[in-house]
Structure 1
Amino acid sequence: MTAFKRALRRPASRRLALVSAVAAGGLLLAACSGSNSMSGMDHGSSPSSSASTKESGSAAAPGAFDDADVKFAQGMIPHHEQAVEMAKLADGRASDAEIKTLAADIEKAQDPEIQTMKSWLKSWGKPESASESSMPGMDHGTGGDGSMSGMMSATAMEELKTAKGADFDRKFAQMMIEHHNGAISMAKDEQKNGRNSAAKKLADDVIKNQTAEVEKMRKILDRL
């Protein structure tokens, strides 16, 4: 009887082992499947991906915008470009150390802002430039050629190019004060009428930074 019972138990234990193996295999497959499913659910949601998207979105000035935002960017691009052109003229012409430093600071600050505003307009589907007739309020003419506020005329730019030493330093400070005041006026219009938060933030930076530079240049003129 004992031998017979052992014979009967042996198949049962084999069956039990088989069932256990199948169950374990099923659990393993489920785990693998769950792992693959979870890994497929996080596409585009990783911290690095989110950070990258946030950065690129910031450069493109996300959010609502209006005509005032477009006008601000389209007008400030050529305004900044002329300021950068004036700043570059200081190399080999300026004699005052503060003027040289200020010119370098203007170029360093405004050139990246030009690229930023161009990226905004591209993301908004708007051209980089517009005729003066489409930008009312920006033709104050303080540059003497009927252009937007603070822009230097071709004649004034030629005078700056031919000046050297202390003469250049004085002309540069006088012209850049006028140029900066024009930019500040444009930035105030953006703060008042603009809608896009990134554009309004840049306008705030223009007002703050260029107001400080105007005060610095006035002090320079007082001692030249």
Structure 2
Amino acid sequence: MQRRVQRYGLVPYVVLSGLVLAAAAWPKWPDSASSDVQFARDMSAHHTQAVTMSVTLLKRAADPAVKLLAQDIALTQQAQIGQMSGWLMAWGHPISGSEAPMAGMNPKEMGLATPDEVRQLNSLPVALAERQYLTLMRAHHRGGVAMAQSALNSVERPEVRAFAERTVVAQTSELRAIDALLAQRGQPPAPLPGDTAPMEPMNHE
């Protein structure tokens, strides 16, 4: 009996040891200055503008293809904002940091629309609003792809890396759809930063 107790008594010890080793091997929670935290905050802010523009066109667009694109972007990116906010809370960090999101980045290179351009989507005639939305969203997606590609050089958390990889694939696919919709309107997409030359890596450190 004593031998049996000793033998089974090893089981909790072995299980506990395995859990300790697994915890040690898993990446630690990132600190507030890490690339993972900065990427989550910056991309959330970037997504927020895309959601705002897309909700406007979801209400106003007459072209079913534009309406569907706006719906997909609004739903997908709002869900991703929630995902990134969840990471920050799990890591013990506030949603917003001490400095503004995307601080030090060039807004134009990141594809951010100006406040006036966003407001115009509410007042332009519908056909012009659709065209402006597609043009603005093309620039916006180009900036999002650049941000995600840059993050792949510095983030450490596996879930953040997987997210950035999916962002590059998904937004590149949506860019093709946007280009097709612009071509239907007789507007070949204008070259954007990064179309002919790679953008400089962004510093998230």
Whether these two folds match at TM > 0.5 is yes
Question: Following superposition of structure 1 onto structure 2, how do residues 1-224 of structure 1 map, counting pairs within 5 Å?
Answer: 63-64=27-28, 65=30, 67-130=34-97, 131-132=99-100, 139-142=105-108, 149-224=110-185
Letter in 2 for 1:152: A
> Given that residues 84 and 111 in structure 1 are in contact (C-alpha distance below 8 angstroms), is that contact kept between their aligned partners in structure 2?
yes
> Given that residues 145 and 167 in structure 2 are in contact (C-alpha distance below 8 angstroms), is that contact kept between their aligned partners in structure 1?
yes
Query: How many positions carry a matched residue from both structures?
Result: 162
Give, in angstroms, the shift of residue 135 of structure 1.
5.3
SS of 1:195's equivalent? coil
SS of 2:167's equivalent? helix
Deviation above 6 Å: which 4+ runs of structure 1?
A: none
Higher helix share: 1
SS of 2:183's equivalent? helix
| Distance of 2:102 and 2:175 partners within structure 1 | 25
Letter in 1 for 2:134: A
Letter in 2 for 1:221: L
- The structure with the larger Rg is 1
1:108-127 CA distances to partner (integer Å, 9 max, x unpaired)?
A: 21111111100111111222
1:100-141 CA distances to partner (integer Å, 9 max, x unpaired)?
A: 110011112111111110011111122212324x8565x112
Identity among equivalent positions (%) equals: 29
> Given that residues 94 and 164 in structure 1 are in contact (C-alpha distance below 8 angstroms), is that contact kept between their aligned partners in structure 2?
no
| Distance of 1:198 and 1:128 partners within structure 2 | 17
| Distance of 2:53 and 2:103 partners within structure 1 | 26
> Given that residues 83 and 106 in structure 1 are in contact (C-alpha distance below 8 angstroms), is that contact kept between their aligned partners in structure 2?
yes
Structure 1 180/135 Cα, relative in aligned 2: closer, same or farther at 3 Å? Answer: closer
> Given that residues 58 and 71 in structure 2 are in contact (C-alpha distance below 8 angstroms), is that contact kept between their aligned partners in structure 1?
no
> Given that residues 121 and 128 in structure 1 are in contact (C-alpha distance below 8 angstroms), is that contact kept between their aligned partners in structure 2?
yes
> Given that residues 72 and 190 in structure 1 are in contact (C-alpha distance below 8 angstroms), is that contact kept between their aligned partners in structure 2?
yes
